[in-house]
Amino acid sequence: MADPPVAQHGRTVYHGSVSDRNAPSIVILTGAGISKESGLDTFRDADGIWSKVRIEDVATPEGFARDPDRVHEFYNARRRQLRGDGIAPNAAHQALPRLEQDWPGPVLLVTQNIDDLHERGGSRNVIHMHGELQKARCQACGAVHAWPGDMSRADSCPACASMGMLRVHVVWFGEMPFEMDRIYQSLSDCDLFISVGTSGNVYPAAGFVQEARLQAAAHTVELNLEPSEGATLFAEQHYGPATEIVPAYVRDLLSGAPKVA
């Protein structure tokens, strides 16, 4: 076990994975901006995914009902890209597990991203509130399966054998994001809420900063390339590429520099 937190120059410095039930708890929300420098497109930037395809066609249950082949192909292409040689976790993904490991209190990472770069970067306590690209869900029996390859209407469910009932395990507009009870519980208990690489356009995630402020009186921090829709709701802001500002912020936090609550 590592050394306990020690006071240094009037600040508390945390070393190693000491667990302290009374230590401040942290909730981190991430969005597409954290994966941008790994080579994955964001949604709403000028060159983003929504500049190339219509939301109604590929990210709604109605779009899937109208043209399942089109939607399967959209996600197959993104799945192939994610598994390609060039895509790997970047310095921002890699900084967050250091916090999970070395911060003495609970650290929950809630991501809107459907890629697996947080897990590949070493994070363990992760909620994918908008689902996971490399999983399939059966609309007949509800079973969820690891699905690293292409998906089509010719596939059948490994659990119930229904054919043509599989869909990608992601959350489209109008659908309920996953694990909301656990997320709201953590937000209402947290001391520090950190938002990374998200535009703050999509609810309920866009409302988490208010939840943390009003329910938990948490300190709130935005780390983004530029001010998001809700930038003024945050008590502290740092702007720049995630690969620079996230490792720097984590380093400062673990050395006791920033405010917590």
Binding site for ligand BJW (CB under 6 A): 31-33, 36-37, 42-45, 48, 59, 112, 114, 130, 170-177, 180, 197-199, 201-204, 224-226, 228, 241-242
The two beta strands, 219-224 and 107-111, are: unpaired
Q: Could you say which DSSP state residue 131 is in?
A: E
For residue 125, give both structure tokens: 């306590």
Between 14 and 94, CB nearer to ligand BJW:
94
The two beta strands, 26-30 and 126-128, are: unpaired
- Note if 9 is an active site residue: no
Q: 143 — phi, psi (to 5°)? A: -65, 145
Quote the least distance from Cβ 109 to ligand BJW, whole Å.
14
Specify the DSSP element, H or E, that contains 194.
strand 192-196
Quote the least distance from Cβ 21 to ligand BJW, whole Å.
29
Q: Strand, coil or helix: what is 124?
A: coil
Quote the least distance from Cβ 117 to ligand BJW, whole Å.
13
> Any bridge partners for residue 6, and if so which?
13
Between 33 and 89, CB nearer to ligand BJW:
33
Quote the least distance from Cβ 230 to ligand BJW, whole Å.
10
Q: What gap in Å lies between CA 103 and CA 18, rounded to an integer?
A: 7
Q: What gap in Å lies between CA 44 and CA 32, rounded to an integer?
A: 9
- Listing from the earlier edge strand, what are the strands of the sheet with 236-239? 126-128, 107-111, 26-30, 192-196, 219-224, 236-239
Cβ density class 206-239: b for 16+ within 10 Å, e for less: bebbebbbeebebbbbbbbbeebebeebbeebbe
**Catalytic member of 72, 130, 219, 238:** 130
The residue number whose beta carbon is nearest to ligand BJW equals 33
Q: If we measure between CA atoms, which residue out of 224, 222, 220 comes closest to residue 243?
A: 224
The amino acid that residue 224 corresponds to is N
Catalytically active residues, by annotation:
130
